[in-house]
Copies of this chain bind each other. A is one copy, B any other.
Amino acid sequence: MSVTRLFTAADLSAGVEVPLDEAQAHYLRHVMRRAEGASMLLFNGRDGEWKATLSLHGKKGASAEITDCTRPQVAEPDVWLCFAPVKRARIDYIAEKATELGVAVLQPVVTQHTMVERVNVERLRAHAVEAAEQTERLSVPDVQAPIDLMHLLATWPAGRHLLMCDETGGGPPIAQALAGLDDAARAAPWAIVIGPEGGFAQAELAALRRMKNVMAVGLGPRILRADTAALAALACWQALVGDWRQPTPRLSSDYRSSRGAV
């Protein structure tokens, strides 16, 4: 039986009792059928990961008594994903996969050719939380409300680089462009910008190309759907610029089983 791993907004330190919200209490009591004293892991994106034991209160409530720190918080790459909203299953998939791939901010962007304008930010956030809980990530990306592309560019933070993936092409291959970055560019904050299924409008392309630290790249000879392009670009960015450049910690089967037995 694997250990339940939950994201919480509460501060985490040894000896603290953390309240669990209604959905978490329901999940632990009725879905996972955990009893008083069951072990779990908690993380909040700031204090690392902590072992805790379950306390049940009344018929519905639950809290977690924090015991030991299992992993310290680590710095994660500061990379945003700016993407035009797509249909429900595909946008949920973007939230889930981009979380696993280590994105810091999910920023839906409304463009002239965006077909889908309503975005359920709470649902996207729930997908991001679930993906972080299930894949050992120590933080959850911020899911922002949708913003108009031109407004986003007009208020763009100084120093944040843009990696622009557009099916109209013309940019150098992504690996060539990213491998050629200097140290300052590698250390900078980044954003990956993905066009909508219909491509950017001419005025949007022009505005993007006027940005100070923009790099347009190509993702090969086949047309990618917007969700595929987002995840492919993010994987390449992590591999060539982000924290996939560090050797992966070796997870022994001992580590796995010790976690299973927490």
Contact = CB atoms under 8 A, between A and B. Distances in A.
Listed from nearest, the 3 A-B pairs whose CB atoms lie closest are A218-B248, A220-B244, A232-B235
Interface string A159-180: 0000000011111111110010
A184 B261 CA distance: 46
A180 to B, nearest CB: 12
Contact of A100 (B74, B173, B202, B222): B222
Contact of A168 (B102, B233, B235, B250): B250
30 contacts: A93-B93, A97-B228, A97-B231, A100-B224, A100-B228, A101-B224, A101-B228, A102-B222, A135-B223, A168-B252, A168-B253, A169-B247, A169-B249, A170-B248, A170-B250, A171-B248, A173-B244, A173-B245, A173-B246, A174-B244, A199-B256, A218-B244, A220-B242, A220-B243, A220-B246, A221-B243, A221-B246, A232-B239, A235-B235, A235-B236
A100 B225 contact: yes
A179 B102 CA distance: 22
A220 B100 CA distance: 10
Given A100-B222, A102-B222, A135-B222, A172 B232 contact: no
